[in-house]
Amino acid sequence: MTFSEHPIETPPRAPSPVHGFGTLAVHAGSPHDPVTGAVIESISLSTTFAQKGVGQPVGIYEYSRSANPNRDNFEKAVAALEHARYALAFSSGSATTANILQSLAQGSHVISVSDVYGGTHRYFTKVALTHDVKVTFTPSMEIDITDLIRPETKLIWIETPSNPTLRLVDIRKVASIAHDHGILVVVDNTFLSPYVQNPLDHGADIVVHSVTKYINGHSDVVMGVAAFNSPELFDRLSFLQNAIGAVPSAFDSWLAHRGLKTLHLRAREATKNATALAHALESSPHVISVNYPGLPSNPQYSITLKQHRDGMGGGMLSFRIRGGHEAAERFCQATRIFTLAESLGGVESLVEVPAAMTHGGIPQDQREAAGVYDDLVRVSCGIEDEADLTADVLQALEKAVVGPKIKNGVANGNDHA
Ligand SMILES: *Cc1c(COP(=O)(O)O)cnc(C)c1O
């Protein structure tokens, strides 16, 4: 199972959808039950399926790891929303990354943006080596890519926006150079969701999601998905999906599919809230700087306009607070609606201090080179009321900059989110 040695031939695209995003989110992969007429699919818990004769299953299913109705329906829905011909679901976002990296031949080389998700960085630096796959990191993919490509380079890994500084990558620019060299481009689209950005439309070959975040959206499922157009990729990745077996349960597939049906509503509210907060933070005297791709003042706003639906910035932002790390910690403890926690993309708003939490494992000099200062606060906007969220942030800022020294600081060194 290796990627082809030849320049990438653009595979046939998925047919252009006739319907808008909301209609697809509600109806794609959601057939009525042909026997009972049930509008909502049942949860198919059976691990095995009866056969009429040896090798003649009654329907299309044999064994639930290989395929089951709930996973199939979820995959169809994600494929529709990402403008892909195929989607494959995995037991987590991390398992999705592992399956893609596992599909590379021994000795392959990967180029990745530097500020990837912590778990992805961990896989690239500590696990991929076990089958001799090497990863080079770059903070400026668009500029460095040509110099970094080697004969054995097989994959480019992009996260846009990045975590937690929300830097963007021009997907089309990277993909056109990569494709000249027969290299596939993967985009981790977790931070925006398919509602705000469809990377395959900008030239990416594979789009991946931690479904745990926006797609499920209710902070109660850990799951991942990859979507793409190439039948060759489908053969390789579906083989590994079954062979490795890191698959989601029928129940999780059902829950994630239910969550996905309201993705457009949630993504719009989260963006509206994040936009209001970004403006409020930008004009606060207690804030040094704001990272939000939806602000016209953002230096990469032209990429936002090119790649995101209606120039939306998504629900994630980060900002540097005046008063250093102490003020950042005090802020996160002073909010009343925002919960201090890792992860993102749920209906509830969250705050965290990356330097001490999600990115605590990265040495300080490397962290600061990537813009992750001790005073950086990351915010995941949920779908509560905009006025309440803005008021909460403003009152917490007031408390944080004048508040007392905090003794029991937040936990150190995790990189879960
Ligand atoms: C959370 C996350 C992942 C990993 O997903 P899990 O479902 O936690 O394994 C990968 N990429 C990004 C950008 C994430 O936020």
pLDDT single digits (tens) 174-217? 999 999 999 999 999 999 999 999 999 999 999 999 999 999 99
Q: b or e along 211-240 (b: 16 or more beta carbons within 10 Å of the residue's beta carbon)? A: bbbbbbbebebbbbbbbbbbeebbebbbeb
CA angle 53, 54, 60 (to 5 degrees): 75
Nearest CA to ligand 1 atom 2: 210
Whether 163 has a pLDDT exceeding 80, the answer reads yes
pLDDT band at 15 (very low <50, low <70, confident <90, very high): low
Q: Given 117, 123, 214, 373, which residue is catalytic?
A: 117
Respond yes or no: is residue 213 known to be catalytic: yes
Residue 207's beta-bridge partner residues? 187, 227
Whether 165 has a pLDDT exceeding 60, the answer reads yes
Report pLDDT for 416: 41
Whether 410 has a pLDDT exceeding 60, the answer reads no
Report pLDDT for 363: 81
pLDDT band at 16 (very low <50, low <70, confident <90, very high): low
| Structure tokens belonging to residue 97 | 């990354």
Mention every residue, 6+ apart, whose C-beta is less than 8 A from residue 142: 169, 170, 173, 174
Ligand 1 pocket, residue 94 CB under 6 Å:
yes
Q: CA-to-CA distance for 336 and 125, rounded, in angstroms?
A: 38
Q: Given 115, 170, 188, 374, which residue is catalytic?
A: 188
Place of tokens 């390789």: 236
Whether 412 has a pLDDT exceeding 50, the answer reads no
Cβ atoms of 53 and 97 within 8 Å: the answer is no
Q: CA-to-CA distance for 359 and 102, rounded, in angstroms?
A: 25
Ligand 1 pocket, residue 212 CB under 6 Å:
yes
Ligand 1 pocket, residue 91 CB under 6 Å:
no
Phi, psi of 116 (to 5 degrees): -80, 165
Q: Which pTM does this prediction carry?
A: 0.93
Q: What is the mean pLDDT of residues 338-353?
A: 97
Whether 9 has a pLDDT exceeding 60, the answer reads no
Cβ atoms of 314 and 337 within 8 Å: the answer is no
Ligand 1 pocket, residue 248 CB under 6 Å:
no
Ligand 1 pocket, residue 163 CB under 6 Å:
yes
Ligand 1 midpoint to CA 59 (Å): 34
Q: CA-to-CA distance for 23 and 341, rounded, in angstroms?
A: 33
Answer CATH for 21-260 from 3.30.70.2740, 3.40.640.10, 1.10.3210.50, 3.40.50.720: 3.40.640.10
Ligand 1 pocket, residue 259 CB under 6 Å:
no
Query: What percentage of the chain has pLDDT greater than the value 90?
Result: 87
Ligand 1 pocket, residue 213 CB under 6 Å:
yes
Ligand 1 pocket, residue 30 CB under 6 Å:
no
Report pLDDT for 296: 97
Which of 90, 115, 117 to probe ligand 1 with, by most ligand atoms within 8 A of CB? 117
pLDDT band at 362 (very low <50, low <70, confident <90, very high): confident
Whether 14 has a pLDDT exceeding 80, the answer reads no
Report pLDDT for 365: 87
Q: b or e along 136-147 (b: 16 or more beta carbons within 10 Å of the residue's beta carbon)? A: ebbeebeeebee
Ligand 1 midpoint to CA 35 (Å): 38
| Structure tokens belonging to residue 265 | 């509503």
Query: What's the whole-number average pLDDT of the chain?
Result: 93
pLDDT in tens, 111-145: 999 888 989 999 999 999 999 999 999 999 999 99
Whether 152 has a pLDDT exceeding 50, the answer reads yes
Nearest CA to ligand 1 atom 6: 93
* Least confident window among 42-51, 216-225, 363-372: 363-372
Q: For the domain made up of 264-416, give the CATH fold.
A: Aspartate Aminotransferase, domain 1 (3.90.1150)
Atom number in ligand 1 closest to CA 417: 1
Report pLDDT for 2: 41
Nearest CA to ligand 1 atom 5: 93
Q: Which amino acid is at 345?
A: G
Ligand 1 midpoint to CA 93 (Å): 5
Respond yes or no: is residue 405 known to be catalytic: no
Atom number in ligand 1 closest to CA 163: 13
Report pLDDT for 417: 42
Report pLDDT for 414: 40
Q: CA-to-CA distance for 312 and 139, rounded, in angstroms?
A: 24
Cβ atoms of 292 and 272 within 8 Å: the answer is no
Place of tokens 């040695």: 5
| Structure tokens belonging to residue 291 | 């990272």
Q: CA-to-CA distance for 212 and 214, rounded, in angstroms?
A: 7
Respond yes or no: is residue 72 known to be catalytic: no
Place of tokens 């620019």: 173
Atom number in ligand 1 closest to CA 223: 7
Domain boundaries, the chain: 21-260, 264-416
Alpha helices in 192-244 (DSSP H): 193-196, 231-244
Report pLDDT for 18: 79
Ligand 1 pocket, residue 188 CB under 6 Å:
yes
- DSSP-derived pairing of the beta strands 153-159 and 134-138: unpaired
Whether 5 has a pLDDT exceeding 80, the answer reads no
Q: Given 61, 65, 72, 322, which residue is catalytic?
A: 65
Report pLDDT for 115: 86
Ligand 1 pocket, residue 321 CB under 6 Å:
no
| Structure tokens belonging to residue 233 | 């990729």
The strand ranges marked E within 241-309 are 287-291
